[in-house]
Amino acid sequence: MKKEALLIFAKNLKYGHVKTRLAATVGNKKALSVYKQLLYHTVSITQELKADKIVFYSDSINENDVWKNNVYKKQIQDGDTLGMKMENAFKSSFTAGYEKILIIGTDCFELKTDNIMNAFNSLNECDIVIGPAKDGGYYLLGMKKEHPFLFKNIKWSTNSVLKDTIDICNQNQLSFFLLPELSDIDEEKDLNRFETQLMLKQKNL
């Protein structure tokens, strides 16, 4: 077992259950295909990382999907709210013995392997590392020990998640490091940018 763990929160690939904010305006079919691309991207930037990688599924473990069993450990998210689910994921991973833990979702197409490596490195100096998303949330959160209060009293999926988290760090005298600001793919207005980035990425391959 490594000392560093990357937790990946992923939705099970189910028609009508992924990217619901996007699906509301562009339809379920399109939303599912976008989500698949985001999954492939997340696999491509994480599979080479030296840290242990643990996928947390929303509903059930799939032994036969893009997350190869010899690369990714697999668990199920546990809790009612996003905050509780993340808190529990950190808790079980610290209990398992990891010393530096990061969590990411699968919504950030701009995220690169370097960002994740920088995040692990920044935990040498700081208690907390945060990847700020342009919409006011965060695309990454990392820490060296459990801080349950980082998940309390936060209005999830609003534009105040990042600011609330920073304020909580300050109130608790925690040092933190902000990674470069990146954009998530959540709504129809993100789609044009996403498709251009996808095109550019495929050209480079």
Partner 1 sequence: MISIIIPTYNEEENIADTIEEIKRRDNENLISEIIISDGQSTDNTATVASNSGATVVTGGKKGRSAQMNFGASTAKGEILYFLHADSIPPENFTTYILNAFKGKYLSGCFRLSFDHPHWFLKANCWFTRFDVNAVRFGDQSLFVTKEVFKNCGGFDENLLMMEDQEIIHRIKKRGKFKMMNAAVTTSARKYLDNGIYRMQFIFFWIWILYYLGYSQPYLLKLHKKLIRKTKL
Contact 131, 119 (CB under 8 A): yes
Helices (H), 68-146: 82-96, 113-122
Could you list the residues that contact partner 1 (CB under 8 A)? Answer: 122, 125-127, 132, 134, 136, 162-163, 166-167, 169-170, 173-178, 180-181
Nearer to partner 1, 55 or 108 (CB): 108
Q: Least CB distance from residue 110 to partner 1, whole Å?
A: 14
Q: Least CB distance from residue 203 to partner 1, whole Å?
A: 25
Q: Least CB distance from residue 132 to partner 1, whole Å?
A: 5
Nearer to partner 1, 65 or 127 (CB): 127
Q: Least CB distance from residue 75 to partner 1, whole Å?
A: 31
Where do we find the tokens 């692990």? 120
| Cα separation, 107 vs 9, whole angstroms | 10
* Residue 41 bridge partners (DSSP): none
Nearer to partner 1, 34 or 128 (CB): 128
Nearer to partner 1, 95 or 173 (CB): 173
| Burial readout 59-77 (b: 16 or more C-beta within 10 A, e: otherwise) | eeeeeebbbeeeebebbeb
